[in-house]
Amino acid sequence: MTTNKRVLLTGGSGYLGQFVIDHLTQSNYERVTVTHLSHVSPPQTGVTSIFVDFLSEKDFLQCLEDVQPDVIINTAAISDIRRNENEPDKAAVINVPVVMFQWAQQRIAQGHNVLVVHFSTDQVFDGLSAPYKETDPVSPLHVYGRTKVLSEQRLVELLPANHIIFRPSVIVGPQPRTNN
């Protein structure tokens, strides 16, 4: 039985995103759309893959308007610590997708039900008092952690009842499939 939910997965060309795609293709969603920036994930039945430059607010909003997702799974991020330090403005735009959160907020205000599933990081903590609970105070040590704290704060502020936040630590697993 197919559900009439439309899913948008951001960051489909990333490591985590590729495994989320595998799960989504085994689910019964009406439509699954995947964004990518660096490369296209291997084609899969029932999945539409589109290029979106998150640095372009216009392109990102167009994607959201075209897809009209009921569920947004946000795995897109610049997670490389050094790159975040070297490109903090770019990291802030990609790691803190306020455009996405505001779009979902507007859809909810119009009577639609939108859920944002957001992947953050355990690097919102300083590592000195592990293990952590979700209610522990954050204390990031670098740009990546600070951008993820900000994204969590904005998401909670804009969508207080329509979000799920994951804070994984190291994500490991098998080598993802490639187009080769």
pLDDT at 38: 63
Residue 41: pLDDT over 60: no
DSSP 72-115: EEE------HHHHHH-HHHHHHHHS-HHHHHHHHHHHHTT---E
pLDDT at 105: 98
Q: Which residues contact 173 (CB under 8 A, 6 or more apart)?
A: 15, 19
Residue 66: pLDDT over 60: yes
pLDDT at 109: 97
Report strand pairing: 6-10 vs 31-36.
parallel
Check if 132 is active-site: no
Q: What is the pLDDT of residues 69-97, one digit of tens each?
A: 999 999 999 999 999 999 999 999 999 99
Q: What is the pLDDT of residues 95-149, one digit of tens each?
A: 999 999 999 999 999 999 999 999 999 999 999 999 999 999 999 999 999 999 9
Average pLDDT over residues 146-153: 98
User: In percent, how much of the chain has pLDDT > 90?
Assistant: 65
Question: Which residue of the set 15, 29, 132, 144 is catalytic?
Answer: 144
Residue 4: pLDDT over 90: no
Residue 180: pLDDT over 50: no
pLDDT at 37: 67
pLDDT at 12: 86
How far is it, in rounded angstroms, from Cα 84 to Cα 22?
A: 28
How far is it, in rounded angstroms, from Cα 128 to Cα 125?
A: 8
pLDDT at 42: 56
